[in-house]
A and B are shown apart, each in its own frame.
Chain A
Amino acid sequence: MPTYRPGPVSLLLAVLVALFLLMPLLAVIPVSLTPSRMLTMPTGELSLRHYRSLIEDPRWLESILLSIRIGIVSSILSTVLALTFSLGVWMFQPRFTAALVGFVLLPMVVPPVVSAVTLYFLLTSVSGLTSFFGYDTWLGVAMAHSVMTVPFATVLILVSLSQLDRRIDLAARGLGAGVWERATRVIMPNIKFGIVTAALLSFVLSWEEIGVTLFITSVNAITLPRLMWMGLRDNIDPAIAALSVILIVITVLVLAVRSVITRQKASP
Chain B
Amino acid sequence: MRGTLSDRAGAALLMAPLLLFLILAYAWPFLGVVKWSFTLPTPGLGQYHALLTDELVQSVFIRTLRIAAIVTLVSVTAAYAITVVWVRGSPVQRVLAEFCILVPFWISVLTRAFGWVALLSNRGLINTWLQSIGFISEPLTLVRNEFGVIVGMSHFLIPFAVFPLASAMRSLDERVLLAARGLGSSRMRTFWTVFVPMTRSGIIGSAMITFVFSLGFFVTPAILGGGRSVMIAELIYLRIFQSPDWGLGAAISFVLVVFVGALMALLFRYVKPKQLV
- Report which A residues bind B (CB closer than 8 A): 2-7, 9-11, 13-14, 16-18, 20-25, 27-28, 30-31, 38-41, 80-82, 84-85, 87-89, 91-92, 94, 100, 103-104, 106-107, 109-122, 125, 143-144, 146-147, 150, 154, 173, 176-181, 183, 204, 208, 210-211, 214-215, 225, 228-229, 232-233, 236, 240-241, 244, 247-248, 251-252, 254-255, 259
Interface residues of B in 1-46 (CB under 8 A from A): 1-5, 7-8, 10-15, 17-19, 21-22, 25-30, 32-33, 36
Checking B14, B116, B118, B191 against A84 with a beta-carbon cut-off of 8 angstroms, the contacting residue is B14
Establish whether residues B81 and A125, one from each chain, have CB atoms under 8 Å apart when the complex forms: no
Establish whether residues A20 and B78, one from each chain, have CB atoms under 8 Å apart when the complex forms: yes
Nearest Cβ in chain A — how far from B254, in angstroms? 8
Establish whether residues B19 and A100, one from each chain, have CB atoms under 8 Å apart when the complex forms: yes
Query: Does B117 have its Cβ within 8 Å of any Cβ on chain A?
Result: yes
Q: Which residues of A contact B85 (CB under 8 A)?
A: 6, 10-11, 14
Which partner residue on chain B sits nearest A3 by CB separation? Answer: B174
Query: Does B109 have its Cβ within 8 Å of any Cβ on chain A?
Result: yes
Checking A88, A147, A180 against B22 with a beta-carbon cut-off of 8 angstroms, the contacting residue is A147
* Distance of A109 Cα from B113 Cα, bound (Å): 22
Nearest Cβ in chain B — how far from A112, in angstroms? 6
Taking residues whose C-beta sits less than 8 angstroms from the other chain, chain B's interface range is 35 or more
Interface residues of B in 235-277 (CB under 8 A from A): 236-237, 240-241, 249-250, 253, 256-257, 260, 264
Q: How many interface contacts (CB-CB < 8 Å) are there between A and B?
A: 287
Establish whether residues A181 and B2, one from each chain, have CB atoms under 8 Å apart when the complex forms: yes
* Distance of A179 Cα from B89 Cα, bound (Å): 48
Interface-located stretch among B52-60, B199-207, B213-221 = B213-221
Query: Does B112 have its Cβ within 8 Å of any Cβ on chain A?
Result: yes
Checking A4, A16, A80, A118 against B88 with a beta-carbon cut-off of 8 angstroms, the contacting residue is A4
Query: Does B136 have its Cβ within 8 Å of any Cβ on chain A?
Result: no
Checking A39, A122, A204, A254 against B25 with a beta-carbon cut-off of 8 angstroms, the contacting residue is A122
Checking A5, A9, A17 against B82 with a beta-carbon cut-off of 8 angstroms, the contacting residue is A17
Which partner residue on chain B sits nearest A182 by CB separation? Answer: B3
What secondary structure prevails in chain B residues at the interface with A?
A: helix
Q: Which residues of A contact B79 (CB under 8 A)?
A: 17
Establish whether residues A4 and B19, one from each chain, have CB atoms under 8 Å apart when the complex forms: no
* Distance of A107 Cα from B257 Cα, bound (Å): 11
